[in-house]
Structure 1
Amino acid sequence: MSGQSARYRIGYAASLFGWVAVPYLAGSVLSWETFGAGIGPAFFPPAGVTVAAMLLTRRALWPVIVAAVVVIELAVDFHYGTGLPTAAGYALANSVEPLIGASLVRAWCKGPPDLRERNDLARFVAGAMVLGPLAGGVIGGLVTAAHEHTWWPIAILHWWAGSGVGVLMVGAPILLWRFQSQILRSRIFETFAVLFAMGGLSVVAFRLELPPALFLLPVMAWAALRLDMIGAALCGGVLAFTANLMANLGYTTFENLDLRAPGQLAVAQAFIAVVVLVAMLTAQEAAGRVTAVRQRQAERRERARLETLANLGRLLSGAFTQKQISDAIVGQVINDAGAQALTVGLVNDERTRLEWVAMGGYPDVVTEQDQFAGGVMLTDSSAATDTVRTGKPVVVRTVAEYRRRYPDNAKWLVASGGASVVGWPLTVGGKAIGVLVLAWSEPQPLDTAQLAYTSAVATMIGQALVRARMYADEHARAAVLQAAVLPSSPAIIAGVNVGVSYEPADTVQGLGGDWYDALELPHGRTYLAVGDVVGHGLPAVEDMAQLRSAGRAMALQGLPPAQLLAELNTFARLASNGKFATMGVAVLDPSSGTLSYASAGHPPPLLRRSSTGMVIRLTGAHGPVLGPVDRASYSEGRVEVRDGDILVMYTDGLIERRGQDIESGMTRVQKLVTQWNGEEFLPSACRLLTQTLAPPPRDDDVCVVAVRFG
């Protein structure tokens, strides 16, 4: 294993060397051939390549980047006839420059910067664009002055401006690419039009000696408002390339300044940098305003969905016939939740046909057709039948996509005026017994929030149908509901490794009120939760399902843990069966390396540090249980986490025993987690904790969740 690891590290270092060396070589040759301006390169794109590479890689790999800089710099300089002392000075300058710039930016931003944030952009400009190039400029400018016999202040200014613009025009797009490349891909023709317009108008402005702002600022505004910051940065790169090319050909708008040609070119670089930064700030402001509007709209939609879930849960809890269930679903999901049409189908006993038990929102031309209205054969090709056959959701965002996937049945979608469709399975013990199909007349993004809502509705419908179909068989009902509410294994989430152990107190019925959740949120964040509804049986599972679904919806709204529990407390008072629940919530933000957490009367989670093996209790959050307290408030704790750290969340069934106080139980858990080596297979580790501390027969449900970060 160690040999494979070593080969992987060597291969990765070689790959990094190549990714830095190739663009550095291309940019250096381009600078010498095109932007010479008498004393060497004036616009130096490799400066942006090296500082971006350092900002996006671990510090331990920076020597590889420096090696690429030194090797390529010496090779290029020797090719163009530069002597060894001068070439060595250039290599030193171009190595010191990104080292200082990247070190300052990473220290100020506590990691790679997100240039969409104004503070991070300011730190990037100050560290990578100003201070780093200034340090390199002092070294490189003095070497250039000695070699070319030029005035050293002008040489330093010339180097500083060229590298600074290179960092802004090349480094910024590289850093923004992972966040905003989808904007360019979705508007590919507009992107090319903007870049072509910038290049063409730049040539006209410099060729006719017209004020550049007259032509260029409108194009920059276009790029900033339509293509966000990455569009403004790319336009800046085109402008810098064109301006330096024209200056090298003898065209400049700053020739009236009492400066030598290199000084005039440095001033031109400063002008370009200011124009691009203003455009990027404009893009930031516009994006911020658009995001605020979208957030308000999303909050309104999510609040409407939460209200629908609460009302639907209340109505379905008292529905014991398929007619009552159908009326509740059609009334709430269509009228209040935005979907224009829906169908709910159950598989017949022979598992040959999907029969509709609820249908609404479809025009008469569809519902009057026997081949559709009465149900469909499972052998047919459609979103509904695919969902049942595979037991997995089917998501279709456009009519064209539906036609490609289901050409034989696309006529029904077209006839009903549908545009987007979701099929969600209704499952029992991991086996699909039916399907919920939602359709919209307008194309939908069908994002995480919409799919989480659909999943919650499907869970509630599944529970209600089980009550109506299997009400007399409590054991079968229990198995179906438990399987519908809790997944057999947690979802795979990038950046974390999750293990779960769930053991109900009632091993016969298998029905309890404990639950867990692990959900990937926007911007790479992760939502984690563990809860315990008081009681057992069907009422406890219903409360559990509603609280779990509502918690997911609120987490997708972006609510921090303390506010999420406060909102959930209000929800619990209005929508539960009158009992109370405890809950622990945590949200991991990998960009800041912090874990925010809050507790509603729940035992404190444990955090095992990978570096020391020490296990600490996260006791920085407090608050009452959910339900009985009106307008409850919750405090929030925050802790930094590192790769390899393990978070352990659990319900009180793990630590409560007759004749034993809770403190002793928590101490036993803490001691066992301390004995972990950090490399455990987390599902097995969770099961071992449960078997050791809460073996059957047990008085309470036990749920344990372990999460390894990184």
Structure 2
Amino acid sequence: MIASRVRDRIGFGAGLFGWVALPYLAGSVLSWQTFGGGIGPAFFPAAGVTVAAMLLTKRTMWPVIVAAIVIAELAVDLRYGAGWQTSVGFAVANSVEPLVGASLVLAWCKGPPDLRKREDLARFVAGAMMLGPLVGGVIGGVTTALRDQVDWPMAIVHWWAGDAVGVLLIGAPILLWPLQSHILRSRMLETMAVLTGMAVLTVVSFRLELPPALFLLPVMAWAALRLDMLGAALCGGALTFTANGMANAGYTTFENLDLHRPGQLAIAQAFIAVVVLVAMLTAQEAAGRVTAVQQRQAERRERERLETLANLGQMLSGALTQNQIGDAVLSQVINEAGAQALAVALLNDDGTALDWLAMGGYPDFAAYQFHDSVALGEPTAATDAVRTGQPVIIRTVAEYRRRYPANAKWMVASGGAAVVSWPLTAGGKAIGALVLAWADTQPLDTAQLAYTSAVATMIAQALVRARIYADEHARAAVLQAAVLPTSPAPIDGVEVGVSYEPADLVQGLGGDWYDALELPHGRTYLAVGDVVGHGLPAVEDMAQLRSAGRALALQGLPPAQLLVALNAFTRHASNGKFATMGVAVLDPASSTLSYASAGHPPPLLRRASTGTVIRLSGAHGPVLGPIARASYSEGNVEVVEGDIFVMYTDGLIERRGQDIESGMQRVEQYVADWSGDEALPSACRELTQTVAPPPRNDDVCVVAVRFGTSLGDNDSQGTTLS
């Protein structure tokens, strides 16, 4: 292990030595041959290479960089006849310079600088571009002054100017490259045009002796605004290389200044440095403004996503079928914050294909190509997400073309740029896929993927609920149809009419029920009831209470005792734990109707002879439920042929904005207006539609019984007995 680490370290060191030595040699040769003649702005590119190398590597590797500097510097200087003493002085100067500059920048920035930040750029300029080259300039300038017998201050300025520009125009792009090279790659032709334009305009400016700012500043501004700081730095490099080449060829724009050549050099270098720095600062400002706009747009999109999720959750909570779920997703998710197109696919029953539940936003020709389903074995983003249980994230058309070449033409024709396919899971298994598509390039960042995941989770949960609901509704419908016929069986001596209207007209399920049963000895059992709850639990309670009531009635229990026994049954067998019920037993031998109530509205009796409606309120008792030792009173009334007995549930008399007493009075008045010989089934339906028209908040059940000739010979109108 140790030997391996040593080999790796040696290999890295050798590579670092080469990466520093080779550019250093090239920059030094250019400095000697091309940038050292005339009075033009000669600069030292190698200075930027060395300081950037130190800023990007650990301090433990700096000796390798210093070794590369010393060996390359000695090789070049001796090759051009500088002599050993001068070469050693230059090697020391060019070694100390990056050591000082890099150390200061690292200390001030607490690590490698991010030149996109204004503070780090200022620290880089102060440490690597100003102080480091100044220290190197002192050593190198004194060495030059001793060799060439020139003024050492001017020699120091000459050195400092060349190295400072080299640090700015070579070191800065090296540091910016990992952070911003993608901008240049995405605008390759524009980058080449700007750099070429800068070089050409520099040549024209120098050849015609025109003010450099006339041509160069607009190009630098364009580079800063379009290509960011890296583009501005590279454009400055093109300016510097070209300007130094022109100066070496005898062309310059600063030779008319009343200064010595070193002074002219300093002015030229300062001009280039200021132009480049201004361009870089312009790029920073533009990038900051663009970032602020993007952040505001991102915040707006995030708010829209949250609003979409809230609205989608609300809509899905009320979606009971797969089609309703698909409509909700289409209405909420296709938007600027969501996607331009989407599709929801579900695994079919045999697990061999995906059926499209919803699809929107795609052009007609593209939607047609999907047909109604896709085989699970076909290579698509949706099928891959279902097979693997992992999301498929595709950010570019090129990536889609690589993964799904057979379908790429449809994505291109549809104008798609990015696709995400997210599995819909239930119980740890994929049951389908949500496919989102965008017409514009998308970052598909954490926020977008979290949004997609949330939408997929909500859809999957809604689909599970819809499947459970469908199964539950089917069972409830079968159970209700089995125990609650649409019309009662014929009973000798009485005519029965029924109207049953559930509050949910679409699903048709409710907890209200009725019963009319012929008992031994010519008696008749009548009942209406209303259980607490909805759906399958309510239907199950209704079925149990109706069946138990029948069984108790067949045993001969009178109404009050029947409710006592049924209350005990309800405590142990009810899902909702509460129910109201009205019970009546007709004994034709005595022409008596006995009745009892468990928290139920009082029944009505319409007298045949006068049309008078009597409210039978002589029976009382609590609702059926977890009430120990409940007791119920019983009422009795004598009836005659033609009298009509009406029982109903509270849905008939309870209306929003209306008290119960007003509702009961309306029912009494309506029943009093009957002629007495109408068909009871149609009369009950008309009563329901008139007094409690849809939309209803509760189920409505009405039972009307007309007594016939089986009653005893009794012409009395009867009275209510306790």
Range of TM-score over shorter length: 0.5 to 0.7
Structure 1 distance, partners of 2:66, 2:192, is 34
CA shift, 1:373, in A, is 4.2
Larger Rg: 2
Name the counterpart of 2:449: 451
CA contact (8 A) 2:334 2:361 kept: yes
> Helix, strand or coil: the match of 1:103?
helix
Structure 2 distance, partners of 1:401, 1:166, is 40
Map Cα deviations across residues 641-678 of structure 1 (whole Å, 9 max, x no partner). xxxxxxxxxxxxxxxxxxxxxxxxxxxxxxxxxxxxxx
> Helix, strand or coil: the match of 1:15?
helix
Name the counterpart of 1:197: 197
CA shift, 1:398, in A, is 5.5
Map Cα deviations across residues 258-315 of structure 1 (whole Å, 9 max, x no partner). 3332331222111110111111111111111111111111110111011212232343
Structure 1 distance, partners of 2:16, 2:398, is 41
Q: Aligned partner of 2:193: which letter?
A: A
Name the counterpart of 2:378: 380
Structure 2 distance, partners of 1:221, 1:355, is 55
CA shift, 1:364, in A, is 5.6
Change (3 A) 1:431 1:253: same
CA shift, 1:427, in A, is 3.2
CA shift, 1:124, in A, is 0.7
Q: Aligned partner of 1:340: which letter?
A: Q
1:67 to 2:67 alignment? yes
Structure 2 distance, partners of 1:4, 1:212, is 56
Map Cα deviations across residues 334-389 of structure 1 (whole Å, 9 max, x no partner). 2574423322112123221101233334456666x5x7342111133332223223
Q: Aligned partner of 2:135: which letter?
A: A
> Helix, strand or coil: the match of 2:346?
strand
Change (3 A) 1:226 1:7: same
1:132 to 2:132 alignment? yes
CA contact (8 A) 1:39 1:148 kept: no
Q: Which runs of 5+ in 1 are unaligned?
A: 475-710
Name the counterpart of 2:209: 209
Name the counterpart of 2:184: 184
Name the counterpart of 1:291: 291
Match of 1:390 among 385, 388, 391: 388
CA contact (8 A) 2:39 2:247 kept: no
Structure 2 distance, partners of 1:413, 1:250, is 58
CA contact (8 A) 1:402 1:410 kept: yes
CA shift, 1:30, in A, is 1.1
Alignment of 1:152-551 (within 5 A): 152-334=152-334, 337-362=337-362, 369=368, 372-397=370-395, 402=400, 405-406=403-404, 408-409=406-407, 413=411, 418-428=416-426, 431-469=429-467
Change (3 A) 1:78 1:277: same
Structure 1 distance, partners of 2:355, 2:336, is 25
> Helix, strand or coil: the match of 1:381?
coil
Structure 1 distance, partners of 2:40, 2:335, is 69
> Helix, strand or coil: the match of 1:446?
coil
Name the counterpart of 2:696: none
> Helix, strand or coil: the match of 1:437?
strand
Map Cα deviations across residues 581-627 of structure 1 (whole Å, 9 max, x no partner). xxxxxxxxxxxxxxxxxxxxxxxxxxxxxxxxxxxxxxxxxxxxxxx
Name the counterpart of 1:116: 116
Map Cα deviations across residues 15-38 of structure 1 (whole Å, 9 max, x no partner). 111111111111111111111237
> Helix, strand or coil: the match of 2:334?
helix
Point out the more displaced range, 114-123 or 394-403. 394-403
CA shift, 1:192, in A, is 1.0
Structure 2 distance, partners of 1:243, 1:326, is 66
Structure 2 distance, partners of 1:364, 1:237, is 52
Structure 2 distance, partners of 1:398, 1:65, is 40
Name the counterpart of 1:696: none
Map Cα deviations across residues 101-143 of structure 1 (whole Å, 9 max, x no partner). 1111111111111111111111111111011100000000000
Name the counterpart of 1:147: 147
Q: Aligned partner of 2:387: which letter?
A: R
The two structures, once aligned, show a CA RMSD in angstroms of: 2.7
Structure 1 distance, partners of 2:333, 2:429, is 24
CA contact (8 A) 2:40 2:268 kept: no
Structure 1 distance, partners of 2:24, 2:3, is 31
Change (3 A) 1:38 1:457: same
Structure 2 distance, partners of 1:31, 1:211, is 25
Give the number of equivalent residue pairs. 472
Identical aligned residues as a percent = 76
Change (3 A) 1:152 1:216: same
CA contact (8 A) 2:47 2:94 kept: yes
Structure 2 distance, partners of 1:218, 1:350, is 67
Q: Aligned partner of 2:327: which letter?
A: D
Name the counterpart of 1:526: none
Point out the more displaced range, 314-323 or 125-134. 314-323
> Helix, strand or coil: the match of 1:358?
strand
CA shift, 1:462, in A, is 2.1
Change (3 A) 1:129 1:352: same
CA contact (8 A) 1:42 1:159 kept: no
Q: Aligned partner of 1:179: which letter?
A: L
Change (3 A) 1:299 1:445: same
Change (3 A) 1:400 1:280: closer
1:8 to 2:18 alignment? no
Map Cα deviations across residues 414-454 of structure 1 (whole Å, 9 max, x no partner). 77665543211223566432110123344544344323321
> Helix, strand or coil: the match of 1:426?
strand
Name the counterpart of 1:27: 27
Q: Aligned partner of 1:379: which letter?
A: G
Q: Aligned partner of 2:180: which letter?
A: Q
> Helix, strand or coil: the match of 1:331?
helix
Q: Aligned partner of 2:64: which letter?
A: V
Name the counterpart of 1:499: none
Q: Which runs of 5+ in 2 are unaligned?
A: 473-722
TM-score normalised by structure 1 residue count: 0.63
Structure 2 distance, partners of 1:267, 1:416, is 57
Change (3 A) 1:136 1:394: same
Map Cα deviations across residues 481-520 of structure 1 (whole Å, 9 max, x no partner). xxxxxxxxxxxxxxxxxxxxxxxxxxxxxxxxxxxxxxxx
Change (3 A) 1:208 1:463: same
Structure 2 distance, partners of 1:241, 1:309, is 56
Structure 1 distance, partners of 2:240, 2:5, is 43
Structure 2 distance, partners of 1:213, 1:100, is 33
Structure 1 distance, partners of 2:408, 2:39, is 67
Structure 2 distance, partners of 1:451, 1:149, is 69
Structure 1 distance, partners of 2:150, 2:363, is 82
Structure 2 distance, partners of 1:418, 1:36, is 55
Structure 1 distance, partners of 2:446, 2:75, is 51
Structure 1 distance, partners of 2:412, 2:70, is 63
Change (3 A) 1:470 1:52: farther
Structure 2 distance, partners of 1:40, 1:439, is 56
CA shift, 1:406, in A, is 3.9
Name the counterpart of 2:610: none
Q: Aligned partner of 1:197: which letter?
A: G
Structure 2 distance, partners of 1:198, 1:402, is 38
Change (3 A) 1:470 1:143: farther
TM-score normalised by structure 2 residue count: 0.62
CA contact (8 A) 1:39 1:144 kept: no
Structure 1 distance, partners of 2:65, 2:392, is 45
Structure 2 distance, partners of 1:137, 1:292, is 41
Structure 1 distance, partners of 2:400, 2:86, is 64
Structure 1 distance, partners of 2:194, 2:462, is 55
